Amino acid sequence: MPLKPYKMPPIPFSTFMKKSLYGQNGYYTNPHRVGKSGDFYTSVSASKFFGGAIASYILNLVEKGHLNLPLRIVEIGANNGYLLGDVALFLDALSTHFLRDCEFATIEPLPSLREAQKSHFSTLRFSTNISFNAFETLPLPEKSSDIFILSNELFDSIACDVMQDKKILYITQEEKNWQGLWQEIDTNPLPSQSAVLLNLLKNNPMPYKQEILPHWIPLIEQLSYIAKAHKKSYFLTFDYGTKNLTNPLSYNPRFYHSHAVMSLKDILGQNINFYSLYQNADITYDVDISLLNILFSHYGFELVFEDYQAKVLIEQMGILSLLESFERAQGFATYLKEIHKVKTLLHTMGGRFMGICYKLCNTTL
């Protein structure tokens, strides 16, 4: 009797998303997916002054004693490493001898991107030799130091589960025809990370519309572990989102391919084959900043600020003053080219993205 073909069981949406983005040959294993010629572009693609403004903020923190040298400057989810490279170049341009007391690093789980980051930093030229490494896991500091960690569009790319009316979304895997399937929670246990999240939120007084269940906790635990190994720690992130998301499933999660976008609702409604999107599209969702604040507070962080990207870049990081200094040094014609790029950061993206900063001080070191 011939053997029947093995039928793959349905998988939670979070598993589909994680494998699609980060698995072997996953979407993010190709660093060229991001940028003006890719499926989407980011603030990093828009202007180098995004990194310049972050560099200015770091210098301001050091000048005011909120951070001290020696300083580790680390990016998580760096793709090619362009943002961290821009930060390092502006620190070099805006200060004297500052880089001598800095260590730069990325935390990157994908080997192909670690190589891309090393390659990019090898092309940069500084006034002094700098320390740069790309790590899968950041080693603990060899000596007492402070740390500044940054990320851009990180949390919206972490796998999530999708719930609706006490049902959780699974993806069938029948040959090359993959479809969405709603499963009763009573008979299908939640994936462990979603269960941990809901358990943590049980005693929280703030309501959370439990439809998008992001798997952020392992990353925030890792950030807390890193922060507590340093004297003073700051974590800065920019992401697409808002506080207290309402009706999130009307437009979340979203799939981007060749600058076109489809919502999960559209895909399910039109019975689009998930196999055609697997490892071929970016998958993202709006970040609920309220939930992010709850989780960071739970792991010991204190909120420094949260605001729209435009206000953060102008009021917290002094990007306009930075541009004025650039005009004096480079001339009006060059300044004019850059100001148009910065307008994208402040106007096109400035009202859609949020900038959030947290800190943690370890008084035992």
CATH number at residue 235: 3.40.50.12710
pLDDT of residue 32: 63
- Looking at the structure, tell me whether residues 183 and 70 fall in a common domain: no
Which is higher by pLDDT, 151 or 333? 151
- Looking at the structure, tell me whether residues 121 and 134 fall in a common domain: yes
- Looking at the structure, tell me whether residues 232 and 97 fall in a common domain: yes
142 Cβ neighbours under 8 A, 6+ residues apart: none
In one-letter notation, the amino acid at residue 228 is K
- Looking at the structure, tell me whether residues 207 and 336 fall in a common domain: no
354 Cβ neighbours under 8 A, 6+ residues apart: 238, 239, 240, 241, 242, 287, 289, 306, 307, 308, 309, 312
Confidence band (pLDDT; 50, 70, 90) for 1?
Answer: very low
The CA-to-CA distance between both ends of the chain, in Å, stands at 69
Our count of domains for the chain comes to: 2
Residues 184-218 pLDDT 10s: 988 888 899 999 999 999 877 776 677 899 999 99
- Of the listed ranges 86-100, 208-222, 227-241, 337-351, the least confidently predicted one is 337-351
- Looking at the structure, tell me whether residues 234 and 331 fall in a common domain: yes
150 Cβ neighbours under 8 A, 6+ residues apart: 54, 73, 74, 75, 76, 83, 84, 87, 235, 236, 237
Residue 76 pLDDT exceeds 50: yes
Q: Cα 337–47–71 angle (5° rounding)?
A: 130
- Looking at the structure, tell me whether residues 180 and 327 fall in a common domain: no
- Looking at the structure, tell me whether residues 42 and 138 fall in a common domain: yes
Task: Output the pTM of the full model.
Answer: 0.91
- Looking at the structure, tell me whether residues 219 and 336 fall in a common domain: yes
Among candidate residues 260, 284, 308, the one where a domain is terminated: 284
Q: List the domain range (segments joined by +) for residue 166.
A: 1-33+160-213+246-284
- Looking at the structure, tell me whether residues 106 and 143 fall in a common domain: yes
- Looking at the structure, tell me whether residues 67 and 145 fall in a common domain: yes
- Looking at the structure, tell me whether residues 110 and 25 fall in a common domain: no
Per-chain mean pLDDT for the chain? 89
Among candidate residues 284, 312, 344, the one where a domain is terminated: 284
- Looking at the structure, tell me whether residues 237 and 129 fall in a common domain: yes
Among candidate residues 265, 284, 303, the one where a domain is terminated: 284
Which is higher by pLDDT, 33 or 279? 279
